Structure 1
Amino acid sequence: MFTFIHAADIHLDSPLRNLSQYEGAPVDALRGATRRAMENLVELAVSRKVDFVLISGDLYDGDWKDYNTGLYFVSQMSRLREADIQVCIITGNHDAASRMTRTIRVPDNVFVFPSSSAGTFKFDKIGAAVHGQSFSGPAVKKNLALAYPDIIEGYYNIGMLHTCATGREGHAPYAPCRVEELVLKGYDYWALGHVHQKEVLYENPFIVFPGNIQGRHIKETGAKGCMIVEADIMGGNTVVEFNALDVLRWEKAGVDISDIGDSYQVVENLCMELESLLEENQGVPLAVRVELYGRSAAHENFAARPMHWINQIRSAALDTGGGQIWIEKVNLGTGLPGKNTALPGGPVGEIMSYIDEFKSDKEMLACLGESLNPLIRKLPREMKEFSGIFQNKDPEWIAGVLDSIYPVLLDRLTGKGDIE
């Protein structure tokens, strides 16, 4: 029986996005998040006394700005060497040899697989053989797995591969392969990298994406970490356990404002949702995207003073979370309740009918969105950066805006005054 850690996509010193834009945001936490997650990985390896650690590509986020990134990595690998823990690495598209202009000597407990062809690193004492190949460039389009070595009889065989597999949304189609091809290699475990969401593609043998160890933006929600794998060569059993390593977690919180006429009550309902999220994530600091949706009279307040309510939400989040919750963005996708089932006649009816036709014509929506560019350029920077309101290149967003102002415009044109 032996134990190893399978991690990938560390993206060391990669910046976290969209959280340093307002007072109270965790600037220091953002700057060091990937390093602290890396430290958690090392501490886990030492505390669990694992036999070795596998890093399946994208250790770095691209070329270093200076040598500090490399020196930091060396310091962490030295900690593992002191604990007699070997590390095997394949490079991925972000840290391929051709992308890195700086290099630095690594401790002798670190083995980096070559990029010219697939190779094997053997742990003779425990009977494990690790096969892998690094990326030679930032865009490898061929199926690397097909040329991986045959199994070594009597050993537990592990394949390290940086791949999109059969394709994953949001990830470039690098080193594509099919699950069936990996199974046919006869390996006991496939340690994949490149996809940032943890996923078990197959269980006999295990073919696993561990995900990245620290989420960096709102598209990387949920717990992030690594896999701890216990392997029994004699019995042929493999047990895989996910272990979270992230120090700040990205989540989404949605609130349906339907039937809530008071804007402050909407914020109170959001606070309850945020409390639940913090509890579900066991106190890990959260970066949350808030999405308000539905139709109620409260929409008029949000539409009239968006920055006021966005900052009310930020303030409520800081207070509710005791400084452990920050708002990444607020999307105001609300609308007023429809009050008229039939359009009035005359000029008002013609105008409203024209808006209905406009919403169904993508070319007209695109033209309208383009016409907003001069106005948006004149807006204060904070209005353009915060809240995600301005997506004028998206026809669906333009149609949503027209839909949301429809009831307000109708009331103004018919002279009915304020919405109740």
Structure 2
Amino acid sequence: MFKFIHAADIHLDSPLHKLDYYEGAPADEIRKATRRAFDNLVQTAIAEDVNFILIAGDLYDGDWKDYNTGLYLVSQTGKLRDAGISVYIAYGNHDAASKITKTLRLPENVHLFPPDKPSTYLIDNINVAVHGQSFAAPAVKKDISLFYPSPLHGYFNIGVLHTCASGREGHDPYAPCTLEGLRQKGYDYWALGHVHQQEILCEDPPILFSGNIQGRHIRETGPKGCMLITVDESGRSKLEFKPLDVVRWAILKVDSKGVESGYDLIDRFCKELEILLDQSAGLPLVARVLIEGETPAHSELLTDFDRWSNEIRAAALDTSGDRVWIEKIKIRTKLPPSEQSIQAGDGAIGELVKLFDELASQPELLRGLSDELIDLDKKIPKELKKELQENPDGIGLDDIEWLGSLVEQVRPMLIQRLMRKGDFE
């Protein structure tokens, strides 16, 4: 029997993805998160007494500003060497972009797959053959798995591959391959990297993405970690996911159906947050709040968005004891049909409601609105335009979907304010 860890997409010292744009964001804590998650990887390997670790690409996050990232890696892999644990690394697209990586001398227990062709490392004391190839360039578009060697008889054969497989949403199409092609190779295990969500493509033989070890932005939610593989005397593999992340990203959806007021919504938010906290294993959370559904409080929420956003943030602090930071709040509510019909009467208000209905149902009208607003975009000063582009909540005057969402939000705000002021009486 032997054990090994399959990890991928470490992205050591990855920069923040515009998180520092938001005031009050825990930037320092998250900036250190990839190192702390790698610390957990090393500690888990030692505690589980594994024989070796596989890293299926993107150990780094591109070129380094200095050697501190490399020195940290040497220190941690040195701990693994002292524990008798070998490390086998296939460089991925981000690693191939690094210049300093190519000159870094790593401890003797670290083995790198070459970029020019697949190669094999033999671990004879446990009869394991590890096959792999590194990326030679940041963008590898061919199926390099086709050239991996045939399995060695009498060995447990493992393939290490950085790949998009047959294609995954949100991931560049690097080293594409097919599930059937990997199965036909005849290996006992495929350790895949590049896709940041843990996914088992095949159980027999095990072919899977371990996912990344630490989420870095809101598109990487949920537990992140590595796979611990135990192989018994008959060559059968037992798979166990080991969480390693130190900060967890989450999307918190709040259903506003039946909510009568903003304060009722805050109460519901707190209940949903308590459930999320119970599921997060005590880790600090970075959460995006999505408020959806039909509610009479729709106009109240949108006409005073800043107030209710701050109420939500304050409630999060009070409920979590500083364990939760709210990354963004999105309100996507609607008025119940009964209340919408009340506003759609005769006169000027009725005409305004009719106009909004036409904009919502006829995309060509939105495109016309977009064309008119483009002239406005040309008048925005360059400095302000750059700031808006860097803002994750920035404007998109040429984006029909963004405009439709904006019109939907503006509708109740405009109608309510006009009715309150009596402008159309």
What's the TM-score, normalizing by structure 1? 0.91
Match of 1:406 in 2: 411
Residue identity in the other structure for 2:223: A
CA contact (8 A) 2:371 2:398 kept: no
CA deviation after TM superposition for structure 1 residue 92, in Å: 0.3
Deviations 1:91-111 (A, max 9, x none): 000011x54245311000000
Match of 1:279 in 2: 278
Between Structure 1 and Structure 2, the one with more helix by share is 2
CA deviation after TM superposition for structure 1 residue 352, in Å: 3.5
Match of 1:199 in 2: 199
Q: How many angstroms apart in 1 are the aligned matches of 2:8 and 2:169? A: 18
Q: How many angstroms apart in 2 are the aligned matches of 1:148 and 1:162? A: 13
Q: How many angstroms apart in 2 are the aligned matches of 1:265 and 1:2? A: 55
Q: Counterpart of 2:95 in 1: which secondary structure? A: coil
Residue identity in the other structure for 2:371: C
Residue identity in the other structure for 1:270: F
Residue identity in the other structure for 1:399: G
Q: Counterpart of 2:93 in 1: which secondary structure? A: coil
CA contact (8 A) 2:64 2:98 kept: no
CA contact (8 A) 1:129 1:156 kept: yes
Q: How many angstroms apart in 1 are the aligned matches of 2:109 and 2:308? A: 54
Q: Counterpart of 1:94 in 2: which secondary structure? A: helix
Deviations 1:225-280 (A, max 9, x none): 00001113x41211111000000011111112233222122122111111110101
What's the TM-score, normalizing by structure 2? 0.90
Q: How many angstroms apart in 2 are the aligned matches of 1:145 and 1:101? A: 27
Q: How many angstroms apart in 1 are the aligned matches of 2:391 and 2:314? A: 15
Residue identity in the other structure for 1:355: F
Residues 417 and 57 of structure 1, relative CA distance in 2, 3 Å threshold: same
Q: Counterpart of 1:341 in 2: which secondary structure? A: helix
Q: How many angstroms apart in 2 are the aligned matches of 1:348 and 1:9? A: 55
Give the stretch that moved more between structures: 288-297 or 209-218. Answer: 288-297
Match of 1:53 in 2: 53
Residue identity in the other structure for 1:77: T
Q: How many angstroms apart in 2 are the aligned matches of 1:382 and 1:259? A: 39
CA deviation after TM superposition for structure 1 residue 390, in Å: 4.3
Residues 371 and 314 of structure 1, relative CA distance in 2, 3 Å threshold: farther
| Uncovered stretches (5+) of structure 1, i.e. residues with no partner | none
Identity %: 50
Residue identity in the other structure for 1:144: I
Aligned residue among 366, 373, 383 for 2:370:
366
Deviations 1:140-162 (A, max 9, x none): 00000000011110000000000
Q: How many angstroms apart in 2 are the aligned matches of 1:95 and 1:9? A: 10
Residue identity in the other structure for 2:230: E
Residues 375 and 300 of structure 1, relative CA distance in 2, 3 Å threshold: farther
Deviations 1:272-299 (A, max 9, x none): 1111101011211111000112233433
Q: How many angstroms apart in 2 are the aligned matches of 1:84 and 1:417? A: 79
Q: How many angstroms apart in 1 are the aligned matches of 2:19 and 2:264? A: 25
Q: How many angstroms apart in 2 are the aligned matches of 1:266 and 1:387? A: 25
Residues 29 and 118 of structure 1, relative CA distance in 2, 3 Å threshold: same
Residues 270 and 405 of structure 1, relative CA distance in 2, 3 Å threshold: same
Aligned length: 416
Deviations 1:358-407 (A, max 9, x none): 33224124336546646799989999988837454432232233233334
Question: How do residues 382-393 of structure 1 correspond to structure 2 at under 5 angstroms?
Answer: 388=393, 390-393=395-398
Match of 1:397 in 2: 402
Residue identity in the other structure for 2:284: P
Residues 408 and 376 of structure 1, relative CA distance in 2, 3 Å threshold: farther
Question: How do residues 196-235 of structure 1 correspond to structure 2 at under 5 angstroms?
Answer: 196-232=196-232, 234-235=233-234
Q: How many angstroms apart in 2 are the aligned matches of 1:137 and 1:382? A: 33
Q: How many angstroms apart in 1 are the aligned matches of 2:311 and 2:381? A: 23
Residues 387 and 7 of structure 1, relative CA distance in 2, 3 Å threshold: closer
Q: How many angstroms apart in 2 are the aligned matches of 1:227 and 1:255? A: 32
Residues 124 and 320 of structure 1, relative CA distance in 2, 3 Å threshold: same
Q: How many angstroms apart in 2 are the aligned matches of 1:310 and 1:335? A: 17
